[in-house]
Amino acid sequence: MLEKLRVKIFADGADKAGMLEMAAKPYIRGFTTNPTHMHKAGISDYRAFAKDVLKEIKNKPVSFEVFSDDFAEMERQALEIAGWAENVYVKIPITNTNRETAAPLIRCLALRKVKVNVTALLSLAQVREVVTALDPAVPSYISVFAGRVADTGCDPIPLMVAALEEMKAVPKAELIWASPRELLNIFQADAIGCHVITVTNDILKKLSLVGYDLDEFSLDTVKMFYDDAKAAGFKF
């Protein structure tokens, strides 16, 4: 079933061993990281980690994020990151922490032919703003956090469909369905024609369940409850 998917699955995380394990799988088409993943993984030397990963992953796109809140410093970091390897995309947040738009920076980087991954978008207005800042001739990603939209009780699918329509103006830009919450999101992203979905390893581990017989899955669940009750030694 996975071989029929049009959406590209990118592994999301900052665990080198996990990234290399996923790099060997043909259905993993790229990688994304962010400072939160790196912090959780205990990474202290950002540059050393990134260059170490890029020695091993050379033929699939890898996104590394700037970590400044100042746009001038973001630009400096972005230019360095972009120079690490040809397969690198630079993640730029849609705003800084003061709600100031990153559109001028994105436009500046696009003019310098930097491949960006604009991240943390949650609205169509933000998508439109990014589309106007990108260079249509330069490959890029627009990362909409569909999972976070869903966390607010809103269906993200209409937003993602509308984003795809807006992005026709930048044919080399690809839409990322970011922060998925369940395996089903991969198939939802595929159904609407989304280009990429970023998936963490805990969700990727569930890929073996795709197409699994539901009656067998039911029995597995019953057995799990029974075995755990026995292990706990419950008695009345």
The tens digit of pLDDT for each residue in 86-130 reads 999 999 999 999 999 999 999 999 999 999 999 999 999 999 999
pLDDT at 21: 93
Query: Is pLDDT above 70 for 1?
Result: no
Q: Is the pLDDT of residue 3 over 90?
A: no
Note the helical H segments in the chain: 16-23, 35-40, 46-56, 71-82, 103-111, 124-133, 146-151, 157-166, 184-192, 201-204, 214-232
Q: CA distances (Å), 172 to each of 128, 167, 203, in order?
A: 15, 9, 28
Reported as a single tens digit per residue, the pLDDT across 168-178 is: 999 999 999 99
Per cent of the chain over pLDDT 90 is 96
Q: What integer best gives the mean pLDDT of the chain?
A: 96
Q: Which domains does the chain have, with CATH numbers?
A: 2-209 (3.20.20.70)
Q: What is the pLDDT of residue 2?
A: 72
Q: How far is 105 from 107, CA to CA, in rounded Å?
A: 5
Both tokens assigned to 195: 């280009």
Whole-prediction pTM: 0.95
